[in-house]
Amino acid sequence: MATADTAHLSHGHDPGVGHDDDAPPPAGPPSIKPLAIVGLFALLVATAGIAIVWSGVVPVVLAALVAATLPGRRSAGGRIAMGAITGAIVLFVVCLWPGEATLEGELPSEAGHHLSWIIGLPIAGAIAILFLPRQSPKLLQGTTLAFMFATLALTLPVLGVPMGRTYHFAEDIAWMPRFGIHYHVAVDGISLWLVVLSAFITPIAAYASFGSIRTRIKDWCFALLLLEGAMIGSFLSLDLFLFYVFWELMLIPMYVMIGVWGGTGRIKSAIKFFLYTMFGSMLMLGAILYMAYAYARASGGTPSFDYFDLQRVLIPYRMQFWLWAAFTLAFVIKVPMFPVHTWLPDAHTEAPTAGSIILAAVMLKAGTYGYLRFAMGIFPEVATDYAPQLGGVAVLGGIIYGALCAWKQDDVKRLIAYSSVAHLGYVMLGIFALTQASLEGSVLQMVNHGISTGLLFLLFGVIYDRRHTRGIDQFGGLAKPMPLYAALFIIATLASVGLPTTNGFVGEFMIITGSFMSHTLGRMVGMQAVGAAIGVILGAVYMLMVVQKMFFGPVTNKENAHLPDMTERELVAATPLVLMIFVIGLFPNIFLSQIKGAAARVKDDVEARVDAHPGPKYFEGPISLSPPRAESPRVQKPAVIPSADAPAAPAQAH
């Protein structure tokens, strides 16, 4: 007999699945339409053409043909889609293979406004959605996907530029010169893969959601595009005022997605999500304003919100501690870390499937990225001083505690949510450890978690659309009626637990080994590394437990006996994520080669600053400026947007 909790889970109401009185009952996700077939066929042809140019025609075409001709009951459109997706991902591997690095003197050109196009295109798409008729859902969906795929295509030229230690595609425009506020964006090896992850995950989540979201589609498409632009903007911003604008802009669409299309407890979860993140954001805003004032005081000029200017500000240790604490609290809430993590399981549980995918895959990385870039980059003395304590919290309050909480869940979405707390504990531990291996592993693990956990949430959405229950004990024996679904879920599970040849193994291995060699984590470094290794075992326990209960043994519920297996739409949405699990697991150096230089730069910058002002006193004042960083973006002469109330002032050189 089901318990009361399980009964509640079984009869949960999800407005995201369409509950208008006049709406027809959902008949399952729609099949691929002719327009999509034409588009995917064009993508396959373009992929083959590019492969010929790059001398990779054989593996690309062979992989595409194998994927298209696999046995199974699929339409011609489905086979073309599978072939195009597989060919495109193999082309990605061929083009970025380390042996094909660009020779010195033949570096690709860097368009000055390229990053602005990547940020602006989805935001422009969101504005365009407002002018389309609400009564044309197919037009709205097609326009949304067109803008998302165009954004993804714009990220591809950035991948062709060797990142090294420096920043690339820098653009610096004086936005409000009177206040020292610039539109300053650039990309390096740390932000590169997070931008690509955002552009890669969002269209997958959107395409999957169009099978289940049947109400207020115009509002849904607007929220998706606005959210994508804000996420990409936050990863590329190097002016802290601009970063804060994008940071807050991310909050609004996700709040609406949970509150409008979420489950029965959506209002409570949306408000909790908003209050937690807004509290940390207000503290960070105060710290940003103080840092801009401190720069003006030290330089004797106007304030500056530029990241490279604020890196130069030397502040007495006591004041630096409170500024670092404000930044850190905002970021650890977003990660989240214990004890400010309680909003995450509720938000994931009530969010629609696409909201959970984007929240887990991308938005949580804004916290880990923000701490690595800003909290550690601007306040290195305090960050290294408190690294041992925070490392202990990451292991005990993140990895171990998150795994134990996941083990005790009887709700699949809450289990995956608590697994995110555990996995991001590894990311934060690697950042606190501050070794070359741990930093590279942390950045790679941000991408790995986005792929694996995004796939888990997508696959759970597949079964939720059929059964409308989240209770683990409501399933059982699903491998019999849904063998393809079971196979993909097991692949995602094995990636989540870090099986060798999957993406999860590489990142966690580098973090654990790098942390073990850390000097920053102090005397307890060995115990912290051992605790992280124990977390891998616990992760295997709770993930394999849920697989055993859901997929193997007899079919315990008669409603599960005749469930249809995955549709073409669902399979097309899941395939890119499944393939990327093995691409990262088998060819990690494609990603690490771009991360390596930036990770070394972060490590060297922090150590140089700490060595210049060693503890326990560090820097005692007065507020002053250190020399500029060697790797700061060199922009010839930033353009200035004239102000109506003040003459345009030249931007400060970096």
Which H, E and C letters describe 476-519, residue by residue? CCCCCCCHHHHHHHHHHHHHHHCCCCCHHHHHHHHHHHHHHCCC
Does residue 183 register a pLDDT over 80?
Answer: yes
Residue 502 belongs to some domain of the structure = yes
548 has which bridge partners?
A: none
* Contact (CB, 8 A) for 459 and 541: no
Count of CB atoms situated within 10 Å of the CB of 130 = 10
pLDDT value for 168: 92
**Least trusted range by pLDDT, from 42-51, 170-179, 295-304, 479-488:** 42-51
Give the rounded percent of residues in the chain with a pLDDT score beyond 70. 84
Domain closes at, from 540, 556, 586? 586
More confident site: 602 or 627: 602
Residue 119 belongs to some domain of the structure = no
pLDDT value for 510: 95
Distances (CA, A) of 424 to 390, 431, 457: 13, 11, 16
Residue 310 belongs to some domain of the structure = no
471 has which bridge partners?
A: 411
pLDDT value for 649: 38
Mean pLDDT of the chain: 84
| Exposure b/e, 2-22, CB count within 10 A at least 16 = b | eeeebebbbebebbbbbeeee
| Exposure b/e, 361-392, CB count within 10 A at least 16 = b | bbbbbbbbbbbbbbbbbbbbbbbbbbbbebbb
| Residue 55 burial (10 A CB sphere; 0-12, 13-18, 19+) | exposed
* Contact (CB, 8 A) for 550 and 478: yes
* Contact (CB, 8 A) for 201 and 453: no
pLDDT digits (tens, 9 = 90+) for 384-419: 999 999 999 999 999 999 999 999 998 999 999 999
pLDDT value for 15: 42
Residue 257 belongs to some domain of the structure = no
β-pairing, 639-640 vs 168-176, is parallel
Q: How many structural domains is the chain composed of?
A: 2
**Least trusted range by pLDDT, from 34-43, 218-227, 561-570:** 34-43
Count of CB atoms situated within 10 Å of the CB of 28 = 13
* Contact (CB, 8 A) for 181 and 305: yes
| Highest mean pLDDT pick, 72-76, 407-411, 555-559 | 407-411
The one-character DSSP state at 620 is -
What's the domain range around 399?
386-586
Dihedral sign for Cα atoms in the order 32, 33, 39, 42: positive
DSSP sequence for 452-463? HHHHHHHHHHHH
Does residue 641 register a pLDDT over 50?
Answer: no
- Tokens linked to 399: 């990895």
Residues 277 and 331: their CA atoms lie apart, in Å, by 9
pLDDT digits (tens, 9 = 90+) for 231-279: 999 999 999 999 999 999 999 999 999 999 988 888 999 999 999 999 9
496 has which bridge partners?
A: none
Q: Collapse the DSSP code of 237 into the 3-class scheme (helix H, G, I; strand E, B; otherwise coil) and give the result.
A: strand
Does residue 162 register a pLDDT over 80?
Answer: yes
Q: Collapse the DSSP code of 3 into the 3-class scheme (helix H, G, I; strand E, B; otherwise coil) and give the result.
A: coil
The one-character DSSP state at 396 is I
pLDDT value for 616: 64
Backbone dihedral angles phi then psi of residue 539, each to the nearest 5 degrees: -60, -40
Average pLDDT over residues 63-87: 75
Average pLDDT over residues 283-301: 92
More confident site: 376 or 96: 376
- Half-sphere exposure at residue 382, Cβ-oriented, CA atoms within 13 angstroms: 22
Residues 597 and 599: their CA atoms lie apart, in Å, by 5
In the chain, what is the straight-line distance between the N-terminal and C-terminal CA atoms, in Å? 68
Domain closes at, from 43, 73, 95? 95
Helix (H) and strand (E) counts for the chain?
Answer: 26, 5
Residue 452 belongs to some domain of the structure = yes
pLDDT value for 652: 37
pLDDT value for 453: 94
pLDDT value for 462: 92
pLDDT value for 264: 86
Does residue 460 register a pLDDT over 70?
Answer: yes
Does residue 17 register a pLDDT over 80?
Answer: no
More confident site: 18 or 538: 538
pLDDT digits (tens, 9 = 90+) for 127-152: 999 999 998 999 999 999 999 999 99
pLDDT digits (tens, 9 = 90+) for 514-547: 999 988 888 888 899 999 999 999 999 999 999 9
Residue 146 belongs to some domain of the structure = no
Average pLDDT over residues 106-112: 66
Query: What element of type H or E holds 423?
Result: helix 412-433
Average pLDDT over residues 3-12: 42
Q: What is the dihedral of CA 16, 494, 411, 365, to 10 degrees?
A: -60
Does residue 639 register a pLDDT over 50?
Answer: no
**Least trusted range by pLDDT, from 88-97, 351-360, 599-608:** 88-97
- Tokens linked to 247: 């940071």
Residue 551 belongs to some domain of the structure = yes
pLDDT value for 279: 93
pLDDT value for 612: 79
Residue 526 belongs to some domain of the structure = yes
pLDDT value for 318: 87
Confidence of residue 49 (pLDDT cuts 50, 70, 90): low
Residues 82 and 265: their CA atoms lie apart, in Å, by 37
Confidence of residue 77 (pLDDT cuts 50, 70, 90): confident
Query: What element of type H or E holds 170?
Result: strand 168-176
Give the rounded percent of residues in the chain with a pLDDT score beyond 90. 60
pLDDT digits (tens, 9 = 90+) for 191-226: 999 999 999 999 999 999 988 888 899 999 999 999
DSSP sequence for 529-575? HHHHHHHHHHHHHHHHHHHHHHHSSS--SGGGTT-----HHHHHHHH
Phi-psi region of 303 (alpha: psi -120 to 50; beta: other; left: phi over 0): beta
The one-character DSSP state at 186 is E
Domain closes at, from 586, 615, 631? 586
More confident site: 46 or 118: 118
